[in-house]
């Protein structure tokens, strides 16, 4: 791919990734409540979901993508229910310290949560199927082009989510007074439940 095409693809992906949506909100809530490392693992899980969609958009036929979009309705319901559950549990949490809670979040749990946020949105594959043909010819793909697109999308989405992570970290530092932790639990719990609703309805 030409440099100008690569830059254009990067900008288009960044604008898409940074726009308010379930991924940004989930990373922001996780970073504020559990810290940057937990939010980073969540972001990586989200990126894996996006890369999956990009791969499908490049390798699969349009009819296959449509079939996957229809079947994703069931996966979306499961993902939304799971996010609502963890949001509700977070809402019920007592006012414990940030440090203690951070240790209780496993990497697998965070990766899975991130993948659900990024991977249960069938609109994402429609987006990639819509804009990828603007930058590449899907009928004449080379392995090098495919790898370039996957790397660009993965790194760009991770960059956008990392910006939300940094914002959550700044919010976290401003509210580390134990007296407001329970309020943070409720806010982040509600945020996560809203992400679940967003995933279900989007």
- Digit-coded pLDDT (tens) for 170-202: 777 665 555 566 676 677 678 767 767 776 775
Per-residue pLDDT, 93: 64
Of 84 and 162, the one with more pLDDT: 162
Burial of 90 (0-12, 13-18, 19+ CB in 10 A): buried
Tokens of 72: 């994703």
Alpha helices in the chain (DSSP H): 3-18, 22-34, 36-59, 62-92, 98-104, 107-119, 122-135, 143-174, 181-201
First-residue to last-residue Cα distance in the chain: 33
- Categorize the per-residue pLDDT at 103 as very low, low, confident or very high, splitting at 50, 70 and 90: very low
Structural domains counted in the chain: 1
Per-residue pLDDT, 117: 82
Taking residue 96's Cβ as centre, other Cβ atoms within 10 Å add up to: 13
Residue 97 has pLDDT above 60, yes or no: no
Average pLDDT in the chain: 75
CA dihedral 170→189→35→182, nearest 10 degrees, is 80
Average pLDDT over residues 120-146: 72
The CA-based angle 158-130-152, given to 5 degrees, is: 30
- Alpha carbon distance 202, 43 (integer Å): 20
Q: Residue 135 is part of which domain span?
A: 23-201
Of 35 and 87, the one with more pLDDT: 35
Average pLDDT over residues 132-143: 72
DSSP of 24-40: HHHHHHHHHHH-HHHHH
Instruction: Name the nearest CA neighbour of 156 among 3, 6, 33, 2.
Output: 6
Place of tokens 């990392």: 162
21-44 confidence digits (pLDDT tens): 778 888 988 888 888 899 999 999
Per-residue pLDDT, 13: 82
- Alpha carbon distance 101, 119 (integer Å): 26
- Alpha carbon distance 115, 123 (integer Å): 15
Whether residue 1 lies inside any domain: the answer is no
């Amino acid at each position: 791919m030409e440099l100008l095409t690569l830059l254009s693809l990067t900008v288009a992906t960044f604008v898409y990734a940074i726009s308010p949506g379930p991924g940004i909100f989930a990373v922001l809530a996780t970073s504020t409540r559990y810290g940057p490392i937990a939010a980073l693992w969540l972001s990586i899980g989200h990126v894996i979901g996006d890369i999956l969609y990009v791969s499908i958009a490049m390798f699969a036929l349009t009819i296959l993508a449509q079939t996957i979009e229809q079947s994703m309705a069931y996966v979306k319901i499961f993902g939304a229910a799971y996010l609502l559950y963890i949001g509700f549990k977070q809402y019920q949490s007592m006012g414990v310290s940030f440090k203690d809670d951070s240790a209780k979040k496993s990497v697998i749990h965070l990766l899975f949560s991130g993948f659900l946020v990024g991977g249960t949105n069938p609109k994402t594959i429609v987006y990639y199927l819509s804009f990828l043909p603007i930058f590449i010819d899907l009928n004449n793909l080379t392995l090098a082009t495919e790898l370039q697109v996957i790397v660009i999308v993965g790194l760009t989405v991770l960059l956008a989510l990392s910006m939300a992570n940094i914002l959550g970290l700044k919010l976290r530092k401003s509210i580390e007074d134990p007296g407001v932790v329970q309020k943070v639990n409720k806010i982040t719990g509600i945020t996560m439940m809203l992400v679940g609703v967003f995933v279900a309805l989007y």
